[in-house]
Amino acid sequence: MIDDDALDRALFALPLATPPGDLRAAILRATIDAPEFAPVMSTRDILLMGVAAAIGVWLLMFMLGDHRNAEAFARNAYSLTQLFGNLQTLSWLAAGTAVAGIVAMFPETLDLRIHRGRRQA
């Protein structure tokens, strides 16, 4: 009968199996040498789409839940379209946007410095 030490010695002396010659290259090709593909959409885009989808689903369920909800939604949507369809509202919006654009593009037109001399006078 083989004793435990002899068996251990025999086990530890066993040669390891020889892997196929191209195995290492195949592993490296699948890992560190694999081309990295840029994601089609950024995380921010995916997040925005998720939020939009969630709001859409919520709105749909809100309207389907009760016919009064759907009516209220339609009424509010109509009011909003009326508001933004109004020429006067649109004129004010255009004026505000234009001023904001000018200030953003030409910040030097807005002189916000404190004039010490004038205050002393």
Nearer to other proteins, 4 or 108 (CB): 4
The pair of three-digit structure tokens given for residue 4, joined into one six-digit string: 């435990």
| Minimum CB distance to other proteins, residue 43 (Å) | 17
Q: Which residues 1-40 are close enough to bind other proteins by CB under 8 A? A: 1-2, 4, 7, 10-20, 23-24, 26-28, 30-33
Nearer to other proteins, 16 or 121 (CB): 16
The Cα 59–Cα 77 span in angstroms is 13
Residue type, 78: Y
| CA-to-CA separations, 11 to 5, 7, 60, in angstroms, rounded | 10, 6, 68
Nearer to other proteins, 19 or 96 (CB): 19
| Minimum CB distance to other proteins, residue 38 (Å) | 17
Please report, to the nearest 10 degrees, the dihedral formed by the alpha carbons of residues 58, 60, 61, 63 taken in order: 120
Three-state DSSP class for residue 111:
coil
Three-state DSSP class for residue 34:
coil
| Minimum CB distance to other proteins, residue 2 (Å) | 5
Residue type, 56: G
Nearer to other proteins, 21 or 85 (CB): 21
| Minimum CB distance to other proteins, residue 9 (Å) | 11
Tokens 């789409």 -> residue: 49
Q: Which residues bind other proteins (CB under 8 A)?
A: 1-2, 4, 7, 10-20, 23-24, 26-28, 30-33
